[in-house]
């Protein structure tokens, strides 16, 4: 009994020491575990945050002046771009959603896809009519009618909403179907603008929503219409010139012959060809497509809209 009691007393400090030793090992282990868990969480977050950096379009939206003027590169955005605060067309969408939030952006992407799908028939109509050599007015008239039909069809299953739209159309345009092509032409001033308003396609918004590559082939429709319009105007101008010559009016000249004055230090000019856009001109003549804004700034008297230039226009070029 005595020996057993001594042995117990002798074991107490040993057990205490063992417990202290075990605790000293277990504490760092817990610390290590917590440290290893934290990087796992931050690594996952970093992957989510870096998803925009890993996303790349096959076609760079910043190479398209029609998109570049409406968006900014945003590495934190889901698809690498967000609307520019300086954009006339997209500035109202800068804070419309959180462009770094994947769920919000994906919801916007789905809505945008539905929007494009509703216009797929319009895209096909325009391409078919362009292939048939139809003029811009004929295309605009067909598209305006189809656009009205699409809008009314979107209220299928919503008779109350359809009734309200028809009533609004009746009060605004005098008919339930919507505006006539002539009413739209009077409103916008050109048949080409009538077509563009019917499509309302903005490549910058598509870039922000991950759809730029998907609808890339539709972005040249305004350019095709522009070239077609220029060709029509050129034919008309040639006909007028021939008529004037036949009448002996040798002094008659087209107003488009007036050239912009070259700025100091630059004497180069460029005559626009069919299919040209400001970015292509800057790339071929200045070696950098991103310098298209310099051409625009020098020729604002000749260019009402940088998206719309016409074959036969002559632009002053900045120094190379």
Instruction: For residue 250, tell me if it sits in a domain.
Output: no
Among the listed residues 108, 83, 105, the one whose alpha carbon sits nearest the alpha carbon of residue 94:
83
Instruction: For residue 45, tell me if it sits in a domain.
Output: no
The SS3 call for residue 71 is strand
Instruction: For residue 34, tell me if it sits in a domain.
Output: no
Position 101 scores a pLDDT of 96
Chain segment 9-65, per-residue pLDDT in tens = 444 455 444 444 444 444 443 333 333 343 343 333 333 444 445 688 999 999 998
Among the listed residues 140, 146, 148, 142, the one whose alpha carbon sits nearest the alpha carbon of residue 179:
148
| Arithmetic mean of pLDDT, 268-276 | 84
Position 57 scores a pLDDT of 94
- Domain co-membership, 299 together with 151: no
Q: How many CB atoms lie within 10 A of CB 286?
A: 19
Position 243 scores a pLDDT of 52
Instruction: Give the chain's domain count.
Output: 2
Task: Band the pLDDT of 239: cuts 50, 70, 90.
Answer: low
Position 288 scores a pLDDT of 86
Report phi then psi at 308, rounded to 5.
-125, 105
The SS3 call for residue 2 is helix
- Domain co-membership, 196 together with 266: no
Burial of 154 from C-beta contacts in 10 A (0-12 / 13-18 / 19+): middle
The H or E element spanning position 13 is: helix 2-49
Residue with tokens 């067909």: 142
| Arithmetic mean of pLDDT, 258-269 | 58
Range(s) of the domain holding residue 234: 228-243+258-316
Chain segment 126-174, per-residue pLDDT in tens = 888 888 888 889 999 998 998 888 888 878 888 898 899 899 889 988 9
- Domain co-membership, 66 together with 137: yes
Position 100 scores a pLDDT of 96
Task: Band the pLDDT of 233: cuts 50, 70, 90.
Answer: low
Q: Identify the CATH number of the domain in which residue 307 sits.
A: 3.10.350.10
Position 250 scores a pLDDT of 47
């Amino acid at each position: 009994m005595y020996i057993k009691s001594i042995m117990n007393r002798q074991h107490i400090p040993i057990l205490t020491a063992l417990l202290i030793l075990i605790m000293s090992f277990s504490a760092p282990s817990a610390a290590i575990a917590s440290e290893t868990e934290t990087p796992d969480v931050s690594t996952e977050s970093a992957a989510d945050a870096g998803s925009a950096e890993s996303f790349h379009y096959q076609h760079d939206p910043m190479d398209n002046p029609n998109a570049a003027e409406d968006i900014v590169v945003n590495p934190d955005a889901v698809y690498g771009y967000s609307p520019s605060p300086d954009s006339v067309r997209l500035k109202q969408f800068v804070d419309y959603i959180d462009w770094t939030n994947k769920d919000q952006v994906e919801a916007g992407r789905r809505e945008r896809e539905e929007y494009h799908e509703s216009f797929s028939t319009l895209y096909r109509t325009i391409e078919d009519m362009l292939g048939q050599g139809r003029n811009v007015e004929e295309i605009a008239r067909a598209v305006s009618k189809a656009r009205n039909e699409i809008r009314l069809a979107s209220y299928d299953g919503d008779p109350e909403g359809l009734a309200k739209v028809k009533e609004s159309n009746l009060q605004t345009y005098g008919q339930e179907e919507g505006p006539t092509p002539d009413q739209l032409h009077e409103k916008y001033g050109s048949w080409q603008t009538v077509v563009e308003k019917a499509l309302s396609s903005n490549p910058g918004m598509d870039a922000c929503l991950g759809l730029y590559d998907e609808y890339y082939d539709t972005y040249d429709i305004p350019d095709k219409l522009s070239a077609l319009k220029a060709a029509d105007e050129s034919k008309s101008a040639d006909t007028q010139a021939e008529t004037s010559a036949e009448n002996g009016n040798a002094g008659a000249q087209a107003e488009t012959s007036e050239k912009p004055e070259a700025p100091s230090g630059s004497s180069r000019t460029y005559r626009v060809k069919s299919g040209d856009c400001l970015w292509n001109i800057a790339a071929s003549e200045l070696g950098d497509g991103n310098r298209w804004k310099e051409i625009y700034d020098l020729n604002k008297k000749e260019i009402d809209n940088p998206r719309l230039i016409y074959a036969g226009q002559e632009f002053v070029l900045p120094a190379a």
